Amino acid sequence: MEKESKIYVAGHRGLVGSALKRKLESKGYTNLIFRTHKELDLINQQAVNEFFEQEKPEYVFLAAAKVGGILANSTYPAEFIYENLMIESNIIHAAYKCGVKKLLFLGSSCIYPKLAPQPLKEEYLLTGSLEETNEAYAISKIAGIRLCKHYNQQYGTNFISVMPTNLYGPNDNFDLETSHVMPALIRKFHEAKVNNKPEVVVWGTGKPLREFMHVDDMADACVFLMENYDFSEVGEFVNIGVGEDVTISELVELIKKIVGFEGKINYDTSKPDGTPRKLMDVSRLNGLGWKAKISLEDGIKETYEWYQNQIK
């Protein structure tokens, strides 16, 4: 990518897209194009085709998606599979038709089988059953990876896919109904502290292991891959993560400390835990010359500051 290359970031207002926007701008890319959902409905194929024909982007970061945690995924599975399939199909096909030089598709670590060996290597894709609570989302993301692969095979495109681990950071979703575990916990502990509540209730047993990556690290990895590597060099897709995990209870204690909550923690074991462990094998990415830089504690501190500024 040249600094003046025309780059379209799909989903620039979300957690991932906004981090990509920040990273590209900080690296001196000057010809970035964006559209809000009101300006361009990515589920509408005709609208997407017209946008690509008009703007003719050279590079595309496909970060737009319908996302949520266990509750949202299990409550609205039809919406998750339909909307994500439509978004990625429309953008990938339009990118091919308009001769986009390179596209980066963002998947998710939930694509891996529920009981896959740990850490998760890229080759474990489609070797077992998925976690039931987010099967619809996972299938849509697997379809996106395979769309990129098969368009590359048939049409000679250069569409690469990345699988980020659990992400957090500025512009995350802090809605308790639809958010992921990190922002939900930050909000719960903050509200409990402000309202002098005696305890915070946490879903599940606290035993599952999860890997967490600051979204600015993830954006840095994506831009690095777009600048340096092609589909033929990196294989079907590349895991993006930090390569180490913590238990949910360890995360809970860390957030409790950072927020300054002094009450008790009560685990509601009637609620689901989800997958027992999801640690990414990042040896492929590390081998390409990239490693995560932001520590979990520093990342949570920054995210909590951002959240406090938003609610002010």
Question: Does 106 appear as a known binding residue?
Answer: yes
Question: Does 141 appear as a known binding residue?
Answer: yes
Question: Does 107 appear as a known binding residue?
Answer: yes
CB 111 within 8 A of CB 142: yes
Cα dihedral 249, 255, 260, 261 sign: negative
Task: Return the SS3 of 274.
Answer: coil
Closest to 8 (Cα-Cα) out of 33, 41, 25: 33
d(CA 197, CA 87): 42
What element of type H or E holds 173? Answer: none
Question: Does 277 appear as a known binding residue?
Answer: no
Question: Does 290 appear as a known binding residue?
Answer: no
The position carrying tokens 């939930």 is 110
Question: Does 75 appear as a known binding residue?
Answer: no
d(CA 102, CA 115): 33
d(CA 29, CA 279): 33
Question: Does 274 appear as a known binding residue?
Answer: no
Distance from chain centroid for Cα 96: 23
Question: Does 30 appear as a known binding residue?
Answer: no
Q: Write down the catalytic residue from 137, 168, 229, 304.
A: 137
Is 137 annotated as catalytic? Answer: yes
Question: Does 14 appear as a known binding residue?
Answer: yes
User: Per the annotation, where are the binding residues for substrate?
Assistant: 188, 203, 210, 273
Q: Which residues are catalytic?
A: 137
Residues forming the annotated binding site for NADP(+)? 11-17, 106-109, 141, 164-167, 180
Name the binding residues.
11-17, 106-109, 141, 164-167, 180, 188, 203, 210, 273
